[in-house]
Amino acid sequence: DAGVTQSPTHLIKTRGQQVTLRCSPISGHKSVSWYQQVLGQGPQFIFQYYEKEERGRGNFPDRFSARQFPNYSSELNVNALLLGDSALYLCASSLQGASYEQYFGPGTRLTVT
């Protein structure tokens, strides 16, 4: 079975630009969470979506937004990019909203110059 997939693998953006990251959960999983991992730190929770509804939001500015589609895939959007947004963005899927059995994708490495 395919695991969590994320695209793109890497991308480079300029300050002020906008970026969209994509995530496909494991087949049958209905919950997707997004995490930001800055170099040298542990992942930090950004959003959780379950059944296409936002179930949780971390301490991130409104420049960060996300959505979940009917097929349970998800997009994370970041507007007005700052240098500090450079990080590995991880997507995790789980079977149910309250399930802590989260499976992580390989991540998208975003570099903002």
In the complex, minimum distance from the CB of residue 71 to other proteins, in angstroms, rounded to a whole number? 19
The CB-of-22 to other proteins minimum distance in angstroms stands at: 15
Cβ atoms of 101 and 95 closer than 8 Å: yes
Do residues 87 and 111 make contact, with C-beta atoms less than 8 angstroms apart? no
Is residue 107 near other proteins by the rule CB under 8 A? yes
Give the total of residues touching other proteins (CB under 8 A): 31
Between the CA of residue 69 and those of 26, 30, 31, 35, 50, what are the distances in Å? Answer: 14, 10, 11, 18, 10
The interface with other proteins within residues 33-72 (CB under 8 A) comprises: 33, 35, 40-45, 48, 50-51, 55-56, 58
| C-beta of residue 13 within 8 angstroms of C-beta of residue 111 | yes
- The yes or no reply on residue 77 touching other proteins (CB under 8 A) is no
Closer residue to other proteins, CB minimum distance, 18 or 27: 27
